[in-house]
Amino acid sequence: MRKKIVAGNWKMNMTVSETKDLIAKLKDKCSTNDVDVVFVVPSIDVTTAKECLKGTNIKLGTQNFYYEDKGAFTGEISAKMILDAGAEYVIIGHSERRNIFKEDDAMINKKLLKAHSSGLKPILCCGESLELREKGTYKDFIEKQIKSAFENVSESDALNTVIAYEPIWAIGTGKTATSDEAEEVCKFIREIIGKLYNDNVKSNIRIQYGGSVNAGNARELFEKEDIDGGLVGGASLKEEFINIVNYK
Ligand code: PEP
């Protein structure tokens, strides 16, 4: 039985003071044992968020890191820095990192390997553009993204990876994939994982859907057989997130 995981990707939003206010509004009602809840905050907010979340079981994550240990990588943060600051999850391969910051499949694979060897829990994003969806080649594209990301990743590390299927055309657009469209791809990703590893990893790896998830559509999406929760952008910055976490 896979435990659902609902993660809020705050993106480049929330100053340190705003972080305190938002967590004060969300923390009590988002602290539940029914699902794993992760606040994925800007790295500068981690220490404050950690303090504010004391006494809850809400987990913390960051949105990016670099795969080297330390050194001349101006502007970057390491896995060790994230863990030491008190976060345990990290998003890898978000489409905004792939498209705006030109992160390619090879870099995403290096980050996934490094996250695991450092003890960070990765949320690996994949998903197609509108163009590929309309062309009908989206599954080929996603298969390539998954195969490349998991190159040299061990079975036990694969099991500890959360995959987020995020069709780019549904991110921040208000246009959600229907629950059937989301389920089709999440099931397909699970099959790819089954072929890369085995039935155990296939049935236990957690696969989220992300793309304009809100309080009105979360339940229908998260109740699908192969959808194990969501990666939520816009709605994670509002009290609406409480209803997404408590979607049942
Ligand atoms: C995201 O940023 O991962 C995301 C899914 O955003 P939104 O929920 O705003 O579409």
pLDDT tens digits, one per residue of 114-134: 999 999 999 999 999 999 999
What is the pLDDT, as a whole number, of residue 30? 97
Q: How far is CA 90 from the centre of its chain?
A: 8
Question: For residue 75, how many other CB atoms are within 10 A of its CB?
Answer: 5
Total number of domains in the chain? 1
Q: How high is the pLDDT of residue 191?
A: 98
Per-residue pLDDT, 38: 98
pLDDT value, residue 176: 87
The CB of 231 under 6 Å from ligand 1? The reply is: yes
Told to judge if 166 belongs to the known catalytic residues of this protein, a careful annotator would answer yes
What is the structure's pLDDT at 1? 86
Q: What angle do CA 168, 208, 149 make, to 5 degrees?
A: 70
Residue of the CA atom closest to atom 6 of ligand 1:
233
Determine the atom of ligand 1 nearest the C-alpha atom of 164: 3
> What is the 103 CA–ligand 1 centroid distance (Å)?
18
Nearest to 104 by CA among 157, 145, 143: 145
Kindly state if the Cβ of 171 falls inside 6 Å of ligand 1: yes
Residue nearest atom 8 of ligand 1, based on CA coordinates: 233
Among 146, 150, 128, 145, CA closest to 137: 128
Annotation marks residue 134 as catalytic = no
Least Cα distance to 22 among 30, 59, 37 occurs for 30
Query: What CATH number does the domain containing 190 carry?
Result: 3.20.20.70
Of the residues 94, 103, 116, 240, which is catalytic?
Answer: 94
Is the distance from the beta carbon of residue 228 to the nearest atom of ligand 1 less than 6 Å? no
Residues in the chain with pLDDT values less than 70: none
Measured over the CA atoms of residue 59, residue 62, residue 67 and residue 72, the dihedral's sign is negative
Domain hosting 22: range is 5-245
Nearest CA to ligand 1 atom 2: 233
Task: Using the mean position of ligand 1's atoms as its centre, give its distance from the Cα of residue 218 in Å.
Answer: 13
Nearest ligand 1 atom to the CA of 236 is 8
pTM for this predicted structure: 0.97
Residue 170 CA to ligand 1 center (angstroms) comes to: 8
Picking from 178, 173, 162, 172, the residue whose alpha carbon sits closest to that of residue 230 is 162
Determine the pLDDT at residue 85.
98
- Angle between helix 179-196 and 138-149 (nearest 10): 40
